[in-house]
Amino acid sequence: MAFSGDLKLEIIATGEKAGLWGTITNDNLKILELASTGYFTTNQLATGNLVLNLADGSSLGATTATGKNLMIEVTGTLTANRVITMPTGAERIFIVKDSTVRSNSNYTIGVQNVGGSGTGIVSLPAGSSTAYYTDGTSANSMKLLGTLNAGFYNVVGGTNSPYTAIAGDTLFVSTSAQAAEVVLPASPSQGDTITIIDSSAAGGFATNNCVINRNGNPINTDNTQNVTLSTNNQSLTLIYTNATRGWIFKSTNQ
Please check whether residues 14 and 120 belong to one and the same domain: yes
Identify whether the C-beta of residue 68 lies closer than 8 Å to the C-beta of residue 36.
Answer: no
Please check whether residues 97 and 169 belong to one and the same domain: no
Q: Tell me: the pLDDT tens digits for 141-155? A: 999 999 999 899 999
pLDDT bracket for residue 59 (50, 70, 90): very high
Residues 120-135 have a mean pLDDT of 96
pLDDT bracket for residue 254 (50, 70, 90): low
- What is the count of structural domains for the chain? 2
Please check whether residues 12 and 79 belong to one and the same domain: yes
Predicted local confidence at residue 14, as pLDDT: 80
Please check whether residues 241 and 134 belong to one and the same domain: no
Please check whether residues 48 and 120 belong to one and the same domain: yes
Any idea which of 4-18, 23-37, 43-57, 209-223 has the lowest mean pLDDT? Answer: 4-18
Please check whether residues 156 and 226 belong to one and the same domain: yes
Please check whether residues 159 and 141 belong to one and the same domain: no
pLDDT at 20 over 90: no
pTM of the model: 0.90
Predicted local confidence at residue 233, as pLDDT: 95
Please check whether residues 126 and 244 belong to one and the same domain: no
Domain boundary among 132, 150, 168: 150
Range of the structural domain that residue 45 is part of:
1-150
Residues 72-80 have a mean pLDDT of 97
Residues 168-195 have a mean pLDDT of 96
Predicted local confidence at residue 186, as pLDDT: 93
CATH for 163:
2.60.120.640
Please check whether residues 5 and 131 belong to one and the same domain: yes
Predicted local confidence at residue 252, as pLDDT: 79
Please check whether residues 94 and 176 belong to one and the same domain: no
Identify whether the C-beta of residue 69 lies closer than 8 Å to the C-beta of residue 133.
Answer: no
Euclidean distance between CA atoms 42 and 125, whole angstroms: 18
Predicted local confidence at residue 215, as pLDDT: 96
Residues 68-95 have a mean pLDDT of 97
